[in-house]
Amino acid sequence: MSSPLSPEVHDLLALHLVPGIGPRLTVALLERFGSAGAVLRAPVQALRGVPHIGDKLSESIHQAMSRVDVEAELKRMAAHGVRLLAPGAQDYPPTLVNIPDAPHLLYLRGTLETRDANAVGIVGSRHCTAYGRRVAERLAAELVRAGCTVISGLARGIDGCAHRGALQAGGRTLAVLAGGLSKIYPPEHKELADQVSASGGLISEAAMTMEPMAGMFPARNRIISGMSRAVVIVEAAQKSGALITATHAAEQGRPVFAVPGPVDNVASAGTNELIRKGAVLVRGAEDILEELDGIRGKGSPAKPTSVPSGMDDTQRRIWEFLADQPRHLDEITQHLAMPVAPLTTALFTLEMQKAVRRLPGNRYERW
């Protein structure tokens, strides 16, 4: 049985259950009122003063707050073996704390362990080919044998193959779902979900009975990349949703890897484009592990001393700051005095251009 919720988390759950309040609006409300409890007690007039909340939404939120049934949600959680994690909790993933729009609450069925910090996300198309399925399963198996946890989204196609590959190799895998944990989606993956929760965990920020809607999948993807040391796109068409995960990874400062595919196959058009733009080409798990461990092969070329061409001002300032030694992301952020999101985007671009490389511990150096 899970421990009783603290009053603060109880109030946060009540706020979380109010329809129409997502991560960004939750941040705005907490900044305005100071706590979830204060938000729940706020009169409708005060809600109108919060950015992005107009008259109609403030009235709707105020009415919904009076109808929230926290106890019913807790009963559903207990029935499905689910517990709640909030920032500051012992097993809330520390890598999520500082990402943009960090989840205020996570539902967990299964376990999270310290070793899950060494996780790699594997995602790709739902409409994958036999090649994509084969590579996803092989990569996942190789990674868990090397001590990594594999994270994916339990979706049809590449995601399911990644989970199965990890399970068949006897490793840990985590699945981040877009909908609530009381009803697994897609339904044909219910047995797979049971296997994942037994060897790792199922994670969602959605309320227990919430159906997965189209707009919830991109939000889910930021959690997959946020919990990963790196993200691998196995197979993706030009407009595949899996590419959103790559974008989130870049914004969060995570390395992006891509598996090449036939140049005339639309199923690999997105991954091939990522490689063309500078994502690290993956042939096997050793390519991923070498990059993550910061291994430089013998005979590597000397680091350039002149500014490479094509850099914008932000990229040039980063490159110059790395002249003497590797720097932690926090040092670079402080030196450039700019928000993390655009800074990590610039770092991702430099990584793709092979101008800088990411080292273990979120440090960067010139390539």
3-state SS of 280-295 is: EECCCHHHHHHHHCCC
Regarding whether 213 and 163 lie in a shared domain, the answer is: yes
Where helices occur in 229-366 by DSSP H, the ranges are: 242-251, 269-276, 285-292, 313-321, 329-336, 340-352
User: Are 175 and 33 in the same domain?
Assistant: no
At 228 the pLDDT is 96
Same-domain check for residues 145 and 261: yes
Residues 192 and 259 in one domain: yes
Q: Is residue 85 one of the residues assigned to a domain?
A: no
Q: What is the pTM of this model?
A: 0.78
Identify whether 43 is part of a domain: yes
Indicate which CATH number applies to the domain containing 165: 3.40.50.450
pLDDT at 305: 54
- Confirm if 271 and 233 have CB atoms less than 8 A apart: yes
- Which is it for strands 230-233 and 201-204: parallel, antiparallel or unpaired? unpaired
Q: Is residue 83 part of a domain?
A: no
Question: Residues 52, 112: one domain?
Answer: no
Cα–Cα distance for residue pair 248/153, rounded to 1 Å: 14
Residues 344, 315: contact at Cβ < 8 Å? no
- Examine residue 157 and state whether it is found in any structural domain, yes or no: yes
Report the distance separating Cα 124 and Cα 213, nearest Å.
Answer: 19
Encode the chain (367 residues) as per-residue pLDDT tens digits. Answer: 456 889 999 999 999 999 888 888 888 899 999 999 999 999 989 998 888 787 888 888 888 888 899 999 999 999 999 999 998 888 899 999 888 888 999 999 999 999 999 999 999 999 999 999 999 999 999 999 999 999 999 999 999 999 999 999 999 999 999 999 999 999 999 999 999 999 999 999 999 999 988 888 889 999 999 999 999 999 999 888 888 999 998 888 899 999 999 999 999 999 999 998 888 999 999 999 988 876 333 334 445 555 666 788 899 899 999 988 889 988 999 999 988 878 888 888 888 777 888 887 778 888 7
Residue 99 burial class via C-beta count within 10 angstroms: exposed 0-12, middle 13-18, buried 19 and up: buried
**What are the backbone dihedrals phi and psi of residue 244, each rounded to the nearest 5 degrees, phi first?**
-65, -35
**Residues 211, 321 within the same domain:** no
Q: In what order do the strands lie in the sheet with 356-359?
A: 327-328, 363-366, 356-359
**pLDDT recorded at residue 250:** 86
Report if residue 80 sits inside a domain.
no
Domain count, the chain: 3
Q: Are residues 216 and 143 in the same domain?
A: yes
CATH number, residue 33: 1.10.150.20
The CATH number given to whatever domain includes residue 336 is 1.10.10.10
Which pLDDT does position 306 carry in this prediction? 59
pLDDT for 294: 64
Sequence length of the chain is 367
In a domain? residue 120: yes
What's the domain range around 358?
313-366
